Structure 1
Amino acid sequence: MTFATVMVSLALNQPNEARLQVAGDLAARFDAGIIGVAAAEFTPPLYFTTGEQAQELVEQGEGALQNRLAELEQQFRSVVGERAASLSWRSGLDFPARYVLAQARAADILVTGSAPPGMSDAFAIASPKDLVMEAGRPLLVVPDNVSWLDLGTVLVAWKETPEARRAVTDALPLLAKASDVVVVEILENSSDYDACEARLDDVVAWLGHHKITASARVEEPGTGRNVAAKLDAVAADLTAGLVVAGAYGHSRFRELVLGGVTEHLVTRTERCVLLSH
């Protein structure tokens, strides 16, 4: 159980220090290589002109983006330093999400930053909201306030879905290095308590077959049944440094719509989150 190659996605106009530190930490823990990746697409101004002036404007804009991508490469190499078994860099003039999704084939895990609530600049940022459903790799979302990957306690957010099963499987290398693993299910109906206990016992036993010691915890839905808030409260109570969860969502009229908990985990999380779809 290991990660051989870590990929970290950098943003042009957001802080990158936290995600770089965590990517370097991952590489050091698993003796893995790191691929840094970034992309941007030039956005013509609203008063865009034509002819030679337009071509000059495009060349200037793309040149500025190339300079910024070069700065990001320098930051990547400086922060990650010698913690990785190998380093490589990939960048291009393209929509960031499209570019990063194409490069993800080369990695075992993709590290990115959290996305602020609301709209993000698709020309400059590969938002985790865009990556999570299509990367085909586990996505490690790192908030800006994190400086290392804390595996003291890992919370596995269980739900009886294929996405949750895939997430806990993808997380096995991290769970194997954790000091404490707690599998938590938040009940949707209090009458389901016994069935929930049986499900969690199976997950704990399955982890045990992989030589990972885990415990189970059933949580009542609580007032208002706000699952995202309840999950945050449990994670805080456990002082969890990492949450592992399935990612849920769908496309509606070409717009990605994430489930409420998934949306919360990529926009408002205070700790690292590993998501799989």
Structure 2
Amino acid sequence: MKLSIPRACGSWSKSPPVSTTLHKPISFYSSIPSSSPLKPQVPLFLRPPIHSATLSDLQKWHHWAKTLPVPHSDDPPDPTLLRRELKWLLEDALEVHSSVPQMGSHSDDRPIKLRTSLEQLYSVWRQRIEERRPFQYVVGCEHWRDLVLSVQDGVLIPRPETEVFVDLVGDVVTQNGDLTQGLWADLGTGSGAIAIGIGRILGPRGRVIATDLSPVAVSVASFNVQRYSLQKAVVFLDGLRKGKLTYLTGLIEGKPGKVCFWLYGKALLGSQFHPWVFGSASG
């Protein structure tokens, strides 16, 4: 399947040169401990089912949600997508997914265990419809590749087209297995999606340095890294303090509207990048 990156910082170039001499990473500092001081929002599907509502009340909410008017807009949401999102929201909120087919049945006062309150379900769906709040922020997660990543307001939602950067790393590592021992960097890591994807490819011998100027993003990315047990593969560098990275094997840099990828200073996407030395983690 042909991959396209409409918002990347350039067009495809020739296949990257793979060096036979691996640059060894030097020591680095200003790492962020795995326990970030900010507590990220837990995705809805991971919350404990400590709330409850009767099936009848849940049916009333479901009917209200399906019939909530969509404000007039030049670019209205797709009704089919909204119905699908409503089903996903319900599945994430329910302790037992088998309760979903019963939503159209007769009134029933049986208690149903929920991962959020019924009042909150009314609130978040109203935000989705009337305020056009992204669905990923409503449920607190995004499906990216084979990952389910925590996201929240203040953290960019991983875009499907950025999955190609993990594929690129997989390709070059397949050509030269020594690259799994290298030091990679993900600048502007956001939710940590790319860093986690690369960390899984590199295995125990490689390391990914992830940075972000946003403390909220670092907190969310740390949560995602811990959830996939990659604390040894992905290490965070505080973008607000001075740090030093040299002899990088590869670098992925996220900027508003584009993402760039470099391997040994050779740009696959974007302008040529020469020095592999950074005076600070903020660039």
Q: TM-score category by the smaller chain? A: under 0.3
Instruction: Answer 1 or 2: which has greater helix percent.
Output: 1
Instruction: Answer 1 or 2: which has greater strand percent.
Output: 1
TM-score by length of 2: 0.25
**Based on CA coordinates, which of the two structures has the bigger radius of gyration?**
2
